[in-house]
Every structure is written in structure tokens, then in C-alpha cells.
Amino acid sequence: MTDPLLERDFAAAPLALVAEAAGPYLDSLATRPVVDPEAAKLIADLAGPLPEVGQGGSPVIERLLTVGTAAATASSGPRFFHFVTGGATPAALAADWTAAMLDQNAFARVSSAFAHEVETIALDWLRQLFGLPQGWGGALVGSATFANFTSLGCATNWWAERHGVDVASRGLAGLPRMPVLSSGYVHSSARKALQMLGHGKDCVEVFQRDAVGRIDLAALERRLTETQHAVIIANAGEVNAGDFDPIADIAVLAERHGAWLHIDGAFGLFAALSPRTAHLTAGVERADSIAADGHKWLNVPYESGFALIREPERLGRAFGMPGAAYLPGPQDPGGGYGLLGPESSRRSRALPIWATLAAYGRAGHRAMVERHLDLAQRLTRLVEAAPDLELLADTQLCVVCFRAAPPGVPDKDLDELNRKLGAALLADGRVYAGTTVYGGVVALRPAIVNWRTTGSDVDAFVDVVRELAAQLG
């Protein structure tokens, strides 16, 4: 095959192969190992020199499916507890396929009025889901890293404006350093966003009162009294144990001292969905910007993040495109979200967000969050009951922080044991979780945010951890 035009009349044939493979693959997620080290060898079948003459769509998709369904990491399955990794609800997954099939450019109304309008609906539904006031706007982006970037880009615009500078035109040259203040919970992606924005990853001043990273509010306030126009990053859900900065208290300080308040709520923002955890996010409505992910606790496929902004017009000021004669300008009715966020041409990532919220509603997503809260408590109880495991933090949300501590193993050897345990878990592949350092000690930190996860997956996780720890101990 040398030209896709030859396939025009049966363009849907490769898609039918994907649809056929989807059922068995998705059904297998309940029982398949997260990683099958043997299957990884198959990936070599896709290598070789660039073909001069191609095989055509259907044979190639067959090859890709054979390798992919065997060698893919089952990270959308129920026993992948590493990082903070959601699955894809049935409606979200189908809508993602629809987005690929329709292949819209969600740059602007003129490129796709459909994509633009669905994005407007999806953003407003997200605003409502998290109980934010009317008038907030936002941008759909590829990840929470980019949501932090978008939010802190707006903050930079605000801060420079206070120095009389339009930073979108002039850049940072000649300006002092932007003061950025946070707790020890600040996520590395917020630093990465600051690094991409030209402030540098080291610009964050951290105010923490303990080894875990909990905020020192008094020190933060002292610093705010000596600074003008600071940007505060408050953390709603830190990765090691799912803890929160006291957002309402920080909001009071931000208002008192005229600071921009940004919330990194990549997954923790979803605590707002349940009355059981809504107290953790109280005060987010007083922020200036919020970053979160769709591909974590909303359970839509990668890549899905969103920034929610109190003054949506900031997005245009920070991310409007320098004019080009062939493109719509800022006030043009043909304009759209490509002028209100970091990307220009972009896929219609609103579709899976719209679909999962339309399919399962607020109640369905609350039920999912609450199931995960219950599962995290179940895991916590199993850890507490096991003589060879030690819980390291209270479980407030969906992350359980613990380590193996078999009787008789001296404290000084536990870090090495847990590092080996983390590596053994990944090599074993039946269940999946990684290690971190929490309060100075090496720990496991499984996160439960996948709609498919049930009690038996959590039980299997603990069984495998104890089995491997016993082998290592």
C-alpha cells in the first residue's frame, strides 16, 4: 500500500478491528497482571527499518493490537496503584474515540464551532461539579502540569501588571523576581511550570514546620507582610499521603495581603464531591486559579487536565496569540480556546469530559469518589492489622502511605528493604505501586482512583506486598 487514498472507501475497517479487540481487552483488565514481562519482548515486532512500501491500515492495526493488547501496561486496570492514575469510564473512552474519529481542531469557533461549544459546556460543568461561583472560566489542557502552567501564567500576568508591565509583550526582563510561596507539599510539576514560565524552579519559598512538609502558616504570614503581590501555591492533595494545606486559612492570608492564590488540586480537588471530604477543599472558591486533572479522578483517558480561573479574561491576556492575518484575533467571534490557553491547534478533549459527566452525573462521580474513600480505608485497616506493615500517615483521601516493617528487622535497614520491595513489586507486575520518601523514610504510597478497583483488588495488593516483603526479609 502506498497511498491512504486507496483505502478511502473502507476507512472504517481498521477502526472495526479496534472495536473488536476492545471488549476482550477491557474485560481482561479485571484479572490480567499490570505488567507481563514476557509480553514486553513482543514490542520488537514493531521495530525494523522505515517501510518503503506500507502494509495498509488493517494489517498494521492488527499488528499493533496484537502487540499492544499483550504488552501495554494495564494502567487503566484496577490494580495499578502507582502515581495517581485513573482509568477511563466506558462513556469517556467511547467519547475519546469519537474525538479521534471527528478529528476536530478545537483552536477556535471558526475551526470547529462544535468543539468550541462542547468545551464551553464541559468547563461550566466542571465549575459546577466543584461548587465554584458563576463567572469562573478555564482552559482544557493536556495535564495538571499544564494546568499549573496555565494558572501560574495567569498569575504572572497579574503580578507583572502590578509592576506596570504587560509581560505578554515585554517578557520578564527588568522585573524583580516574582515571589512564589508554598508549603513543603508543593508538587514538582508546579516547579516545572515555573521553570517553563521563566521564573525558575527554585523560585518557590517553602514554609514548612515538619519533615513531612506541613505548612508553617505563621512563617508564611510573616513573609507576606514583607512582600508585595506574592503568588501563593496551596496544595489540595499532596502525592505522598493525600494531605491538604489548610486552604481556607491560606485564603484569608491571601486576601489580607493582596496575594494571588493558586490551588494545585490535581486529584485532591475531587474531595469536594463528597460531603465526607468536602471540608478538605473548603476555601477553593476563594482562589484565583485552580489546576486539576481529568485523567486522574475524573477517569477520562489521557491527556486531560484543566485550569479554572476566577477572572477568565486573564487567560486571553496571558495566552492570546500575537496576531496573524489568517487567524482570528482576540475579539473576533470566530476565536476560541486556542487564544485562551497555552496550545493553539488542539484535539477536542472536552468530549470525554462532557460524556462522563453526562453519562454518570454528579451522583455517579460522587459514588466513585466515595467508593475509593472506602477502599482507601479498607487498605488502611489491612495495613494496621498486618504485623509486618506500618502505617505512616492518616488516610484522609485515596492515598495510603505505609511501609514494610517486619518484626526483627532493625529500623536502619527498613529504607533499603522498602526500596527493594518497591522494585520487586514493579518487577513482579501482578499489582503496581511505587515508593516515595515520606518524613525521611522510604514508603509505599498506593493511590486508589480507578473506577474499576474493588475490595478484592485492594486485598490482592496487600497479599502481594506481604508475600514479596517476606521473601526479601
The footprint of ligand PLP (CB under 6 A) covers 83-84, 143-145, 187, 189, 237, 239, 264, 266-267, 293, 305
Least distance between ligand PLP and beta carbon 260 (Å): 18
Least distance between ligand PLP and beta carbon 287 (Å): 15
Least distance between ligand PLP and beta carbon 85 (Å): 9
Least distance between ligand PLP and beta carbon 27 (Å): 27
* Segments in 329-454 forming alpha helices (H): 350-385, 414-428
Q: State which residue, 112 or 189, has the beta carbon closest to ligand PLP.
A: 189
Of residues 400, 419, 391, 417, the one with CA closest to residue 458: 400
* Cα angle 419, 420, 424; round to 5: 120
Q: State which residue, 34 or 405, has the beta carbon closest to ligand PLP.
A: 34
Of residues 347, 329, 348, the one with CA closest to residue 339: 329
Q: State which residue, 208 or 227, has the beta carbon closest to ligand PLP.
A: 208
Q: Which long-range contacts (CB under 8 A, 24 or more apart) does 124-129 make?
A: 125/353, 125/354, 125/357, 126/306, 126/308, 126/353, 126/357, 127/308, 128/362, 129/272, 129/273, 129/357, 129/362, 129/365
**Region of residue 389 (left: phi > 0; alpha: psi -120 to 50; beta: else):** beta
321: part of which helix (H) or strand (E)? Answer: none
Least distance between ligand PLP and beta carbon 148 (Å): 6
Q: Integer distance in angstroms from the first to the last C-alpha of the chain?
A: 57
94: part of which helix (H) or strand (E)? Answer: helix 90-102
Q: State which residue, 145 or 356, has the beta carbon closest to ligand PLP.
A: 145
**Region of residue 283 (left: phi > 0; alpha: psi -120 to 50; beta: else):** left
Q: In what order do the strands lie in the sheet with 435-438?
A: 389-391, 402-404, 441-444, 435-438
Q: State which residue, 162 or 201, has the beta carbon closest to ligand PLP.
A: 201
Given a contact cutoff of 8 angstroms between Cβ atoms, the answer to whether 281 and 271 are in contact is: yes
Q: State which residue, 293 or 457, has the beta carbon closest to ligand PLP.
A: 293
Of residues 141, 64, 109, the one with CA closest to residue 305: 141
| Residue 309, SS3 per DSSP | strand
Amino acid found at 330: P
Least distance between ligand PLP and beta carbon 266 (Å): 3
CA dihedral over 193, 194, 200, 203, signed as positive or negative: negative
Cell of 452: 474499576
Of residues 17, 174, 92, 138, the one with CA closest to residue 359: 92
Least distance between ligand PLP and beta carbon 123 (Å): 18
Q: State which residue, 167 or 448, has the beta carbon closest to ligand PLP.
A: 448
Of residues 345, 327, 346, the one with CA closest to residue 335: 327
Least distance between ligand PLP and beta carbon 149 (Å): 9
Q: State which residue, 166 or 394, has the beta carbon closest to ligand PLP.
A: 394
Q: State which residue, 239 or 464, has the beta carbon closest to ligand PLP.
A: 239
Least distance between ligand PLP and beta carbon 145 (Å): 3
Least distance between ligand PLP and beta carbon 188 (Å): 8
Least distance between ligand PLP and beta carbon 163 (Å): 28
Q: State which residue, 274 or 304, has the beta carbon closest to ligand PLP.
A: 304
Least distance between ligand PLP and beta carbon 56 (Å): 36
Instruction: Give the single-character DSSP code of 114.
Output: H
**Buried/exposed 310-338: b ≥16 CB within 10 Å, e otherwise:** bebebbbbbbebeeeeebbeeeeeebbbb
CA distance 307 to 154: 10
Q: State which residue, 85 or 380, has the beta carbon closest to ligand PLP.
A: 85
Q: State which residue, 191 or 314, has the beta carbon closest to ligand PLP.
A: 191
